[in-house]
Amino acid sequence: MEEYRDLEQDSAARITSYSNKCISRLKHLSSLSTYHTTTRAQFHVYQSVGKKAEIIKDSCDTLQQVIDTYSKQVNEMYPKERFSTTRKHRRSDEMKRLFKRARLPLQKVLDTLDKLRAKEKKILDVIQNGTVEFQNLNLDSTTNDKQNKLQEIQEDIAIAEEKRKKKEAIYIEKATAIFKQCQQLEKERLEQIKQTLIDFIQAVHPSRYSNAFITIYESLLSDIKTQQNSIEDLNYWAQTYGVHTLVSTTLSETNESNYDSASDDDQDDHQ
């Protein structure tokens, strides 16, 4: 949005510069090269171009409001971390803590299971391969003691597995509830983007300013058609520079007749 605003502002600046340059040229033309109503019409044309630039600037102001609103929302939702330039969601740490807290009871059972299975593996190694010294597992050399210890650990594993299933079910329930909170936060973010896109389109939509553009150009066309008068210009120039032979309206009528004839011929050719 900011890049689009910059493009529009640059366009308005270029149009304004063009309008001012053209008006300046007209003002500095030799009076011998200018005519009364025609020069005035030219002024109006270039002034109207400048008015177009003003409308574009108004559009940029509206767009800037959209940008400011969205920037404020982003800053609130993704504040900068202290002593850092990075950002993260305002509730990111909270959600992480909730997940960690919900998983803690399950994690304790999983850790216990890992330890029990490690012991089970070592006893199996002793029974099958004799690869672990008996004293490391508090075992004597009798087979019965080994088997009893193995059975004891396997029973502990079975009990821990039951605990794991229960804790896992509780964790899934809690994690699902936390995930729904995360989805709601993400929905909020996506809805903000959606609304910002709508505001952006409305700010730059042609219909918002088309009537203003139409009014400028229709007024300009009407002004040229009704106020620019070639005969008046020729006579004004003649009187200004002492040429007293004025051009009659007959010339104007002849020109109009020729123009109408040419228009009729063109229509015949098209038909």
The domain segmentation of the chain, as residue ranges, is 92-200, 231-271
Chain segment 259-268, per-residue pLDDT in tens: 455 445 544 5
> What is the per-residue DSSP string for 177-197?
HHHHHHHHHHHHHHHHHHHHH
Per-residue pLDDT of the chain (271 residues; tens, 9 = 90+): 999 999 999 999 999 999 999 889 888 877 776 777 888 888 888 888 888 898 889 889 999 999 999 999 998 898 887 777 788 888 998 999 999 999 999 999 999 999 999 988 888 887 777 655 544 555 555 556 778 888 899 999 999 999 999 999 999 999 999 999 999 999 999 999 999 999 999 888 877 777 888 888 888 888 888 888 888 878 887 777 776 666 665 444 444 444 455 445 544 544 4
Cα(187)–Cα(108) distance, integer angstroms: 33
Q: What is the DSSP letter of 135?
A: G
